């Protein structure tokens, strides 16, 4: 089930993000490098974006995705993570999270969604390309924003 973020899931969301980043992907990003996840309400929802979670049958968080509003036209896709056991076409967890974000982005009138992802996250690169994102250079970013750079690739989606 996909739901809009609720504060009662804060610890589970943080656990998911840190686990996928550091245990599964070995990226080595600390919580201090991503303070936005300590206050999702302020950093995503109150600013005109949103944040969604995927819950399993036991109502435990198994996935997340966030959209941060940067301008009236541009938003950033962030914190798109799904536990390994909930990935893949059969379950469609990532696809459902992404569709919630995309529907929201369109309804809010965004024309561009950008994202950064570590270069070694090749599985996610395939997903982003399949749903229409194009890889761009950092110099071609339509706006500047901070992210923990792990030899990151930048992707852009025109809506």
* Per-residue pLDDT band at 1 (split at 50, 70, 90): very high
What percent of the chain has pLDDT above 90? 84
Buried b vs exposed e over 130-155: b needs ≥16 C-beta within 10 Å?
A: eeebeeeeeeeeeeeeeeeebebbbb
**Alpha-helical runs (H) found in 19-81:** 40
Between 123 and 51, the higher pLDDT residue: 51
What pLDDT score does 4 carry?
98
Quickly tell me which residue has 């930048």 as its tokens.
154
What pLDDT score does 51 carry?
98
Residue range 62-71: mean pLDDT, rounded: 98
> How far apart (Å, rounded) are the C-alpha atoms in residues 152 and 150?
5
* Per-residue pLDDT band at 27 (split at 50, 70, 90): confident
Residue range 38-47: mean pLDDT, rounded: 97
Average pLDDT, the chain: 95
**Confidence check: pLDDT of 32 > 80:** yes
What pLDDT score does 151 carry?
84
Residue range 82-94: mean pLDDT, rounded: 94
Residue range 2-158 forms a domain whose CATH class is: alpha beta
What pLDDT score does 123 carry?
83
Taking only the tens place, the pLDDT of each residue in 99-156 is: 999 999 999 999 999 999 988 888 899 999 999 999 999 899 999 888 877 788 999 9
Domain range list for the chain: 2-158
């Amino acid at each position: 089930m996909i739901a809009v973020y609720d504060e009662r899931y804060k610890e589970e969301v943080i656990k998911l993000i840190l686990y996928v980043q550091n245990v599964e992907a070995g990226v080595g990003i600390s919580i201090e490098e991503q303070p936005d996840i300590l206050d999702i309400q302020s950093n995503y929802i109150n600013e005109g974006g949103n944040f969604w979670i995927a819950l399993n049958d036991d109502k435990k968080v198994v996935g997340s995705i966030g959209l941060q509003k940067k301008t009236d036209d541009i938003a950033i896709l962030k914190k798109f993570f799904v536990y390994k056991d909930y990935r893949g076409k059969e379950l469609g967890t990532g696809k459902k999270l992404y569709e919630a974000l995309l529907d929201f982005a369109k309804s809010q009138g965004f024309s561009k969604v950008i994202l950064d992802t570590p270069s070694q996250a090749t599985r996610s690169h395939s997903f982003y390309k399949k749903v229409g994102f194009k890889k761009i250079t950092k110099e071609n970013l339509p706006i500047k924003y901070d992210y923990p750079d792990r030899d990151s690739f930048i992707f852009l989606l025109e809506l």
